[in-house]
Chain A
Amino acid sequence: MRTALALTIFGGGLLQASLVPALRIADVAPDIPLIVVVLLALRRGPEFGCVSGFAAGVLQDMATGGLLGVQALTKALVGFIIGAAGGRLRGTQPLVQVLGLVLLTFVEGLGRFTLMKLFRYPAPFGEVMTYAVLPQALYNGFVAAALVFAMVWTESFRNHAS
């Protein structure tokens, strides 16, 4: 649990810091900590998803210099919900994971926007959705597909080896 948590937080943060600048396309970048939180919460459950989402969100809030607690809250909620619903949603299915991640990114963006609006965030809803949330959701889905494929391959390799 602790190892996986540390891996999620550090690995996600590390990937976000190192890979995202290289992966940026037309000013849209994937939210790698969110992807990692979702994919691991599906396997580890709601508690793991909640704590890892909170930690990853706090780090992102601190890194971006925005409102502290916004991403921590949205990611913790997303992690918890997906962790709790994972069993019912056949969360181990790659297609569910990828499509679910697209949807969750959208939901997380929506939640983040709502929270920030409470603090007089100036940008209009349509613009944020069109230029930030939706492209990132699609990008996350694409990255998630690659990660899911890598995880499936790793697990099958491990099973074959054992």
Chain B
Amino acid sequence: MKIRGLALLGCVVLVCLVLLTLQARGHSSQATDALAKVTTPIQSVLAKVNRGAFGVWATYLDWKNVRAENKRLREDNRRLRVEALQVGETADENRRLRRLLALREQLPIATVPGEVIAREWGGWVRSLTVNRGRDDSIVRLTAVLSPDGLIGRVVEVRPGASIVQVLTDPASTVGAHVVRTRTPGIVEGEARGTIRFKFMARDGAGIQVGDLVVSSGQGGMFPRGVPIGRVRVIEDHGSALFHYAVLSPSVDFARIDEVLLLTGDTAHDVAAHFPTDG
């Protein structure tokens, strides 16, 4: 064993010395070439393994970074979405308030702006609660409208709040007429949440789908000319005394957030201050 080991060492030393001698005598390229044939494949394998291992490691690091970045971007995305929603909501509210303010300034009637703070939306009653009450000179039967049209009337006044009966309430009736034909009638609310225009058969021959119906101003509760809705369907009841036209309300009652309560004299024609082109 010892001899074998020494012999091995002797061989190794001899090989090394031969290599060194060859290089010292200027035959370095032959010695290097001879060994390169053996070592280059080994080095190539080592390099490949090394590159592969580092590739896997780099991939893992990339994956980890991508995962962290993905998490951060998701957070950013969520935050930005919320911010965008808030901005959108603010812009929307700003636009609505501008319209309300413009209407308020144009109307020849004293008004109090109010904000909807609650809604009652069952089939029995359809009403809004507005944050204006007795302290704001609101009285019962005060007309309530929005820049799009008529909303309803105040049916109950409390300190700091009022209950507004909207046009779709089954108990709501408003004197109205068709703008194009001047056909008079009454707009009634229905339990299913729609409104209809009730008119006498002999007067309503010329009513067409799409006609605008506005408040007539009779009775003095509502000003004249406030849009109520457009004729969607005409129900011809043959020889009956009254016919009906189902209306599409001018105001989206489910979405209204700001209103104007008319506290002044309502005996005015305000049609010019509302859109009539649909």
Contacts and interface: CB of A to CB of B under 8 A. Distances in A.
A73 B54 CA distance: 31
Given A59-B46, A68-B20, 5 more contacts: A10-B49, A17-B46, A46-B9, A69-B31, A73-B13
Interface residues on B, range: 20 to 34
A46 B5 contact: yes
A40 interface: no
Interface in A69-98: 69-70, 72-73, 76-77, 80, 84
Contacts of A59: 39, 42-43, 46
A119 B9 contact: no
B46 A14 contact: yes
A14 B12 contact: no
B13 A77 contact: yes
A3 B43 CA distance: 18
Contacts of B50: 14, 17-18
B218 to A, nearest CB: 92
Interface of B: 4-5, 8-9, 12-13, 15-20, 23-24, 28, 31-32, 35-36, 39-40, 42-43, 45-47, 49-50, 53-54
Contacts of B9: 46, 50, 76-77, 80
A80 B5 CA distance: 8
B19 A72 contact: yes
Interface of A: 9-10, 13-14, 17-18, 45-47, 50-51, 54, 58-59, 62-63, 67-70, 72-73, 76-77, 80, 84, 115, 118-119
Q: Closest 9 A-B residue pairs measured CB to CB?
A: A69-B19, A73-B16, A69-B16, A18-B50, A62-B39, A76-B12, A69-B20, A46-B5, A54-B12
Given A14-B50, A17-B50, A63-B43, A68 B12 contact: no
